[in-house]
Amino acid sequence: MEINGRTRTCGLIGNPVEHTLSPVIHNTLAERFGHNLVYVPFPVEAGRIEEAVAGASALQILGLNVTVPYKGEVIPCLREVDSLAASIGAVNTLVAVPGGYKGYNTDMEGLYRAMVTEDIRIADEEIILLGAGGAARAVAYLCAVKGAQRVYLLNRTLDKAQKVAEEVNRSADRQVILPMALADFDSLPDRKFLAIQGTSVGLAPHVEDVVIDDEKFYARIHTGFDLIYSPWETRFMKLVKANGGQAYNGLKMLLYQGIIAYELWNGVEVSGADADVVYGKLKAHFI
């Protein structure tokens, strides 16, 4: 693609952003669609998110992704916020509107699309969710709105899990999230679960770390989904597989949250074939 006076710009704001694989997603899609668009990372120093959003608008940046630590902090800087993002309390995608940006959360739907491609079911399932941070809160909301029967929210700090459960249950208008302390996993019903690892524990370079280090826990899991994608196979995934379960990493979640953002910015629908091409390029960074 030739960069010229009509080239549109999209990018990622966060701190740090140097490690991001998002340019692989968006620049590959731009090439496949023939869009005159480039995607680049923009590091934003602490305390300057409002300046960054205003500057991007002034420069007519078409759209932005938002990563840690600004997914919540960016909300007051926006002209509008999509109802789903408002319910989750986090924005990861900005779409240009007159006078600024509208905020969306594509993480949740990205995770759902990723799970669908692996034939992982949420509706009517009993699910274990590890963690009660921002990512886990979004997953809890996803499970609630997609019809999970029950979600056991396990967290080291019980009061934080209780707070997330209260917020999501109130939003979903049903008692679907049950908070528990990590140490109490033995009190879970005697059955197999879908388990979603929603913390940063095990992220490279701390590849031997795991939230629960007890074989008895992993014997309860028929399918494990780790939101982490680096390393390619986390210790959580290895323990699930060692105890007879299937395990998946978060690279397809990264893929589909990016695809949904690209669709919002450009008014297109990304095909399965295009998604497969992008996924192949992402996967090449690990295998």
Supply the pLDDT for residue 1. 75
Quick: pLDDT tens for 108-132: 999 999 999 999 999 999 999 999 9
Q: Which residue has the tokens 């009993």?
A: 126
- The Cβ of residue 38 has, within 10 Å, a number of other Cβ atoms equal to 16
> Would you call 71 a catalytic residue per the annotation?
yes
Mean pLDDT of the chain: 96
Domain 8-105+252-283 and domain 109-249 have a common topology: yes
Whether the predicted pLDDT of 287 surpasses 90: no
Q: What digits encode the pLDDT tens for the residues 82-91?
A: 999 998 899 9
- Domain ranges (residues) in the chain: 8-105+252-283, 109-249
**109-249: CATH class:** alpha beta
> In the predicted model, what is the mean pLDDT of residues 160-189?
96
pLDDT, average across residues 26-40: 98
What integer pLDDT is reported at residue 246 of this predicted model?
Answer: 98
Residue 154 has pLDDT above 80, yes or no: yes
| Start-to-end CA span in the chain (Å) | 27
Mean pLDDT of 163-183: 96
Q: What does the pLDDT look like over 223-266, one tens digit per residue?
A: 999 999 999 999 999 999 999 999 999 999 999 999 999 999 99
CATH of 8-105+252-283, one of 3.40.50.10860, 3.50.50.60, 3.90.1580.10, 1.10.1370.10: 3.40.50.10860
Q: Cα(20)–Cα(34) distance, rounded to whole angstroms?
A: 23
